[in-house]
Amino acid sequence: MKRVTINKNDAGQRLDKFLFKFFASIPASMVYKGIRKKRIKVNGKKSEIGYMLCEGDVLELYINDEFFESPKGDEAFKTLVPKLSVVYEDDNILLADKASGISVHDDETEKVNTLINHIKAYLFQKGEYNPDEENSFAPALCNRIDRNTSGIVIAAKNAVALRIMNEKIKNREIEKFYLCLVQGRLKDKEKTLKSYMVKNEAQNRVYVHDSPIDGGKTAITRYRVLAEGELTSLLEVELMTGRTHQIRAHLASIGHPLAGDGKYGTNEFNKKIGMKHQALYSYKLKFKFSDENELSYLNGKSFEVKEVPFASHIK
């Protein structure tokens, strides 16, 4: 039998959800049977699957030892030298300026040099995160951007911040603004685009349609022109929806692909202006919360990256 005391980061989640995180590998049937047969107790008593854990609760787990001997998680961050550009940080969240070329999470091509690992390493070395003191929580990203897109990514330092940020992003109470350099000069200097996008998984490409189509998802993109050259224009873009490749595909569909974008633009133009990487930067966030919560001190605040490399390279 093993006793586990619920800490602040464990609290506020269902009993079964916590157990699936606590045990690296355990059959769902064993968890539910354990709760049903009183092999998993809360404060010495039988509990329900949906019981919401509170700080200080004590779990008694009468589970086979083999499930406690879970394989070690990826702790590469413990020896990683953190490379991190911090836009803003407090006790609850961190806003990181992700560089182009780095993935936010590990994937088939990279397991160590990821944004989340650099954030964990940074917090670990500051003494703000120790996985050995946590039952189920690790610092987590609240939003993500593509490997080849630069800009602000929100990280939550604790479970309360993660829950609130996820809710606010879902309810569109965090406004996200991008800077991008596009091909040509736009006729409309400010406009809201509405289309229907279908993703081709095999091609990892999005196709844009003016009218509703089976499998199509509504995409709304608002832009305004900030500056113009002979060959390119600098835009500020606000995402009203969050579709895959939305900005890239939407602007390309009206004849103004991103500079440096080989998928939706043309290599000929990119070579002409000397752009090897897509000119897209998630440069600003605005917090507009509709209620009082533990992060209300952020309400009304705006954070931005002041120096975006391609912003001064208008051709």
CA distances from 273 to 101, 270, 276 (A): 20, 5, 9
Long-range contacts from 205-213, C-beta under 8 angstroms, 24+ separation: 205/245, 205/249, 205/263, 206/243, 206/244, 206/245, 206/246, 206/248, 206/249, 207/249, 208/249, 208/250, 208/252, 208/253
- CATH topology match: 76-170 vs 177-283: yes
251 three-class SS: helix
Output the CA torsion sign for 140, 201, 237, 234.
positive
Tell me yes or no: is domain 2-67 CATH 3.20.20.140.
no
Which of these CATH numbers, 3.30.1370.10, 3.30.540.10, 3.30.2350.10, 1.10.630.10, describes 177-283? 3.30.2350.10
pLDDT at 71: 46
CB-based burial label for 27 (10 Å; 0-12, 13-18, 19+): exposed
pLDDT at 106: 82
pLDDT at 191: 97
pLDDT at 178: 97
pLDDT at 303: 98
**CATH superfamily, region 76-170:** Pseudouridine synthase (3.30.2350.10)
pLDDT at 64: 74
pLDDT at 23: 81
pLDDT at 74: 63
Ranges in the chain, pLDDT < 50: 71-72
Report pTM.
0.84
**Spatial CA neighbour of 211 closest among 165, 245, 253, 166:** 253
pLDDT digits (tens, 9 = 90+) for 255-275: 999 999 999 999 999 999 989
Domain residue ranges of the chain, discontinuous segments joined by +:
2-67, 76-170, 177-283
- Two structure tokens written together for 290: 């509709």
